[in-house]
């Protein structure tokens, strides 16, 4: 049993704690949160210890590994602490909002053999991974275009948007990673457009955008389009398509059920889409824990690591720079 402690008992930390608790080859070693009541609640519910500090987690002989689900500005510090303690770490995305901090963290942990896995959960979704498997089996041929649609059901609260680091670092970061995962070739050029159509005042105040499109090309000319909106009234819209010389693979949306109803006035009426990430990616979050446990148990590198977090953030920086300068950005300009 791999004894995993969870740091951060907020929205996503609670879910990770429950997934570890339910995992057949893992044990929830305990939890910690700076908000004591949050940790207390999870500790009581699952009957596990509550740690007194983050350092106590890393110092404990009862902890084999850590899952970091705290607020973003703490991630790089906790990755460094995990490496210093020799404890494998599964850290939520993003590593940090600042490329400088990510580079500094990379330098500090360079050469470590302590496994660090990044929480790009969508790679573990059976549908999205199915697109990758179809490509891997050669069914799609040479991939020419990847199209990713990712729209939240509704805009997050103002307080969240204000500290999110902006749509590209907070939301599109998942799609940048998915684009790299599916394309299997690094992107060289990034072009982005952004609009303030849903919450213009808040977006102007935060110098952010609620509606964006990104196009990216690889050195060989392969193309990717990402479409993001902070509000889709029909639910959490998550689709991935790969188009190639031999065919196409599509990962579709998930609805509450697959029933389709027909009447005099409509056809193909279906249940709304699952509403947000905890429901839509429930299977992927559970599989992510499984992949982490597998990697640690078999001493193999985690399937998605620190470098993937770094590269996704570089693509986010390039997208921001593209809007600022009104032109495509070569990745070499942000590296
Ligand atoms: N993979 C995904 O799809 C996904 C989805 C949502 C959030 N996230 C990421 O997960 C992280 C947490 O997001 P959330 O929505 O759960 O936020 P949240 O605010 O609900 O929870 C964060 C928790 O961390 C605690 N915390 C803050 N600093 C701490 C510290 N130094 N030590 C211990 N605890 C500390 C807070 O008290 C809070 O309880 C963010 O980095 C976010 O980007 C990832």
Residue-level pLDDT at 259: 94
pLDDT of residue 94: 96
We report the CATH number of the domain holding residue 184 as 3.30.360.10
Q: 88, 114, 140: which is the final residue of a domain?
A: 114
**Residue 11 Cβ < 6 Å to ligand 1:** yes
The reply to whether ligand 1 has any atom less than 6 angstroms from the CB of 54 is: yes
For residue 106, the Cα-to-chain-centroid distance in whole angstroms is: 19
Residue 300 lies in a domain: no
Distance 302 CA to ligand 1 centre (A): 21
For ligand 1, mutation pick of 5, 10, 81 (most atoms within 8 Å of CB): 10
Q: How far apart are CA 43 and CA 51, in angstroms?
A: 9
pLDDT at 63: 98
pTM: 0.96
What is the model's pLDDT at position 229? 98
Checking 314-319 for CB contacts under 8 A at 24+ apart, the result is 314/99, 315/176, 315/179, 315/180, 315/187, 315/190, 315/216, 316/168, 316/169, 316/172, 316/173, 316/176, 317/99, 317/168, 318/190, 318/192, 319/168, 319/172, 319/190, 319/192, 319/212, 319/214
Shared domain check, 108 and 149: no
The count of structural domains within the chain is: 2
pLDDT digit string, tens, across residues 69-95: 999 999 999 999 999 999 999 999 999
pLDDT digits over 135-171, tens only?
A: 999 999 999 999 999 999 999 999 999 999 999 999 9
The residue whose C-alpha atom lies closest to atom 34 belonging to ligand 1 is 33
Which atom of ligand 1 is least distant from the CA of 170?
43
Q: Is 12 in the pocket of ligand 1 (CB under 6 A)?
A: yes
**Can you give the three-state secondary structure of 86-129, one letter per residue?**
CCCEEEECCCCCCHHHHHHHHHHHCCCCCCEEEECHHHHCHHHH
- Domain presence at residue 293: no
pLDDT in tens, 221-259: 999 999 999 999 999 999 999 999 999 999 999 998 889
Q: What are residue 83's phi and psi, to 5 degrees? A: -65, -45
CATH of the domain at 85: 3.40.50.720
Q: How far is CA 300 from the centre of its chain?
A: 21
Residues 237 and 217 in one domain: yes
* pLDDT for position 275: 87
Q: How far is the CA of 111 from the centre of ligand 1 (A)?
A: 28
150 lines ligand 1 (CB under 6 A): no
Q: Is 72 in the pocket of ligand 1 (CB under 6 A)?
A: yes
pLDDT for res 230:
98
Say if residues 29 and 6 touch (Cβ distance below 8 Å): no
Give the relative orientation of helices 126-136 and 282-298 as an angle to the nearest 10 degrees.
Answer: 60
Same domain flag for 106 and 127: no
| Token pair for 335 | 């590296």
Identify whether residues 167 and 93 lie together within a single domain: no
The 10s digit of each residue's pLDDT in 9-28 is 999 999 999 999 999 999 99
Ligand 1 geometric centre to CA of 5 (Å): 15
d(CA 268, ligand 1 centre) in Å: 39
**Nearest protein Cα to ligand 1, atom 18:** 10
**Across residues 254-269, what is the average pLDDT?**
93
Same domain, 71 and 161: no
- What's residue 335's pLDDT? 87
Tell me the average pLDDT of the chain. Answer: 97
In the chain, what percentage of residues exceed pLDDT 90? 98
Find the domain containing 259 and state its range: 123-275+312-333
Does residue 37 sit within a domain? yes
Tens-digit pLDDT profile for residues 279-308:
999 999 999 999 999 999 999 999 999 999
């Amino acid at each position: 049993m791999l004894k995993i402690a969870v740091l951060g008992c907020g929205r996503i930390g609670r879910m990770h704690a429950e997934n570890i608790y339910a995992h057949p080859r893992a044990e929830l070693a305990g939890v910690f949160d700076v908000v004591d009541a949050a940790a207390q609640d999870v500790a009581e519910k699952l009957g596990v210890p509550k740690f007194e500090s983050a350092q106590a987690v890393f110092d404990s002989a009862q902890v084999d590994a850590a899952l970091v689900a705290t607020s973003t500005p703490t991630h790089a510090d906790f990755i460094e602490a995990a490496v210093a303690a020799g404890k494998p770490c599964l850290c939520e995305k993003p590593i940090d909002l600042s490329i400088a901090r990510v580079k500094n963290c990379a330098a500090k942990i360079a050469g470590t053999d302590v496994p660090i896995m990044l929480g790009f959960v969508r790679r573990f979704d059976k549908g999205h991974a199915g697109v990758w498997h179809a490509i891997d089996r050669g069914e799609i041929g040479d991939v020419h275009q990847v199209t990713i649609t990712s729209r939240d059901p509704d805009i997050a609260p103002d307080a969240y948007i204000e500290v999110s680091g902006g749509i590209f670092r907070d939301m599109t970061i998942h799609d940048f990673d998915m684009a790299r995962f599916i394309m299997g070739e690094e992107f060289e050029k990034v072009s982005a457009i952004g609009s303030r159509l849903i919450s213009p005042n808040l977006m102007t105040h935060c110098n952010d955008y609620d509606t964006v499109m990104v196009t990216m090309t690889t050195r060989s000319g392969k193309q990717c389009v990402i479409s993001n909106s902070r509000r889709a009234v029909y639910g959490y819209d998550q689709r991935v398509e790969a188009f190639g010389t031999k065919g196409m693979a599509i990962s579709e949306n998930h609805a509450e059920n697959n029933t389709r109803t027909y009447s005099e006035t409509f056809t193909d009426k279906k249940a709304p889409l699952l509403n947000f990430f905890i429901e839509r990616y429930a299977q992927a979050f559970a599989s992510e824990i499984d992949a982490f446990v597998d990697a640690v148990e078999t001493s193999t590198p985690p399937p998605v690591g620190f470098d993937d977090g770094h590269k996704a953030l570089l693509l986010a920086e390039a997208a921001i720079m593209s809007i600022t300068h009104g032109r495509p950005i070569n990745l070499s300009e942000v590296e």
